[in-house]
Amino acid sequence: MKPLLKVIQLHKNQEYLIKKALKNSRDAQQALYTMFAPKMLSHCRYYINDMHHAEEVMHNGFFKVFTQLQSFQHQGSFEGWVRKIMTREAISYLRQKKQMVFTETEHALSEESPVLADSQLSVEIIQNAIDGLPEGYKTVFVMYAIEGYKHHEIASELQISVGTSKSQLFKARQLLQQQLEELNATHYGTK
Amino acid sequence: MVQNKFENSMREQLEARKLPTPQNGWHELQGRLDKHDTQKKYKKWLMYVGIAASVVGVALVSFFMFKSNTTHHIVTDVQSVENPKVEQMPTTSKMKVEELNTVENIKGNRSLVVTETKPKEHIEVANPAQNKIAKDKKVLQNTTAENLEANGIASGNTIVSEASFQESEQITDAYLEDLLEEANQDLQIQQQGIKRAKQTVNAEVLLEGVENDIEHSFREKVFDVVKKGFGKVKTAVVERNK
């Protein structure tokens, strides 16, 4: 019962903070920032390799969160809403920097997708492997595999076709498999 | 399944990750938010000032419009009052003069008639014998064709003159009054004709008339605008107070 009560308490506290933040209370806004900033920075880091740029994107995202808080409908979770804003902010940053390039030639997908080895890797290694992917592959992979977007959602967000999204994911998985195999080899080799 | 497992574990690990935020991160964000708020307030203030200025402007314009309208009205009234005076005065004076002339003429005619008739009357009254003689002369003139041919013109004239004299004998005061009335009517008709001929379309008066018609609707528009502005300000103030 205790964890459930804690969750309810946290939710109530969050609701209260959102209401206060809506009234432009800086304390409430700071509380929300300190509550979500570490997670959101990690979220931005999925897409952006450079930590400083990730922080910049996170700040832009929080600025939008606080200035457009009245558009939050209280239908889903506040964290999910903030995450969505962060994702869009990261995508627009990558677009601005013209780092995101999608090869529009649709890949003839084989029936079997490349299988990623079930290995216990640290978060840093995973992040490095993701960082090693080209921007287009990486974005689609993160959106699909980590954030749980569907292909049509990815297509509409990135303004690409569903086929391109699928092919990007396939190539991303292929590349990740190669990288993780190499990492595994080096990892075990070193051990 | 293996792939899903791996991706799920990857997701869980990444979602659980929390990265340390920069220490001055919140202060930077707060600075941006404060700047945004001041800009927002400034924009709001500008909006209020704009509304107030527009209301004042509309009020000033309407004030000047009303002022100009009243002066226009006065001018038009003056024109409407003065014009007849200015225009009618000469006409009335002219009319009077003409009437006087006509009366004088008529009187003159009358006097002429009188002077013409009076001698006849005098002749008739004074000399009935002579009248008889004249009648006899007529008979004689009718009977004697030669005399008629010789003195045709003269005798004819005398007959006409005698007839006119006889007619003028029947002129009474009523007849004179009728004549005067007829002459008056003729004069009035003539003057109306002259007026019509002289009546030029005054563009300014026409314009003023049209403007008066338009200004009425414009005044209503101004009232509407003022009402709207007032409503906006009212709602804005109420919202701000909330």
| Candidate CATH numbers 3.30.390.10, 3.40.1160.10, 3.10.129.10, 1.10.10.10; the one for domain A123-187 | 1.10.10.10
Residues of chain B with pLDDT under 70: 1-4, 69-171, 198-200, 215-216
Residue A188: per-residue pLDDT: 56
Asked if B240 contacts B51 with a C-beta cutoff of 8 angstroms, the reply is no
For B153, the token pair is 């013109």
**Could you tell me which residue, B137 or A35, shows the higher pLDDT?**
A35
Distance CA B128, CA B118 (A): 14
Which residues of chain B are within 8 Å of residue A62 when distances are taken between CB atoms? 29
Amino acid found at A180: L
Quick check: A63 and B29 CB within 8 A?
Answer: yes
**Could you tell me which residue, A42 or B209, shows the higher pLDDT?**
A42
CB-nearest to B25 from A59, A126, A146 is: A59
CB-nearest to B10 from A114, A126, A148 is: A126
Burial class (CB in 10 A: 0-12, 13-18, 19+), A59: buried
Candidates B37, B25, B33, B15; CA nearest to A59 is B25
What does DSSP assign to residue A69?
Answer: G
Q: How confident is the model at residue A104 (pLDDT cuts 50, 70, 90)?
A: low
Quick check: B29 and A26 CB within 8 A?
Answer: no
3-state secondary structure of A103: coil
Distance CA B23, CA B25 (A): 5
Q: Distances from the Cα of A79 to the Cαs of A132, A152, B70, in angstroms?
A: 28, 23, 67
Distance CA B204, CA A175 (A): 89
| Nearest-10 Cα torsion for A45, A48, A52, A57 | -90
Quick check: A123 and B11 CB within 8 A?
Answer: no
Asked if A162 contacts A152 with a C-beta cutoff of 8 angstroms, the reply is yes
Tell me how close the Cα of B24 comes to any Cα of chain A, in angstroms. Answer: 11
Chain B residue closest in CA terms to A52: B22
Distance CA B21, CA B27 (A): 12
Residue A82: per-residue pLDDT: 94
Q: Which of A59, A121, A122, A147 to mutate to test the interface with B (most CBs of B within 10 A)?
A: A59
Asked if B187 contacts B98 with a C-beta cutoff of 8 angstroms, the reply is yes
Quick check: A37 and B25 CB within 8 A?
Answer: yes
Candidates B151, B126, B148; CA nearest to B139 is B148
Residue A58: per-residue pLDDT: 94
Span A14-96: which CATH code?
Answer: 1.10.1740.10
Cα angle value A109/A113/A114 (rounded, 5°): 125
Asked if B184 contacts B99 with a C-beta cutoff of 8 angstroms, the reply is yes
**pLDDT tens digits, residue range A124-157?**
888 888 888 888 899 999 999 988 899 999 999 8
Residue A153: per-residue pLDDT: 93
Go through A146-174 and write b for each residue having 16 or more CB atoms within 10 A of its CB, e for each that does not.
bbebebeebbebbebeeebbbbbbbbbbe
**pLDDT tens digits, residue range A88-103?**
999 999 988 876 667 6
The residue written with tokens 């939008």 in the block is: A64
Distance CA A101, CA A94 (A): 10
B32 touches chain A (CB under 8 A): yes
Asked if B29 contacts A48 with a C-beta cutoff of 8 angstroms, the reply is no
Distance CA A180, CA B11 (A): 16
ipTM greater than 0.85:
no
Torsions phi, psi of B66, nearest 5?
-65, -40
Q: What residue segments make up the domains of chain A, in order of their start?
A: 14-96, 123-187
Distance CA A120, CA A126 (A): 10
Quick check: B2 and A115 CB within 8 A?
Answer: yes
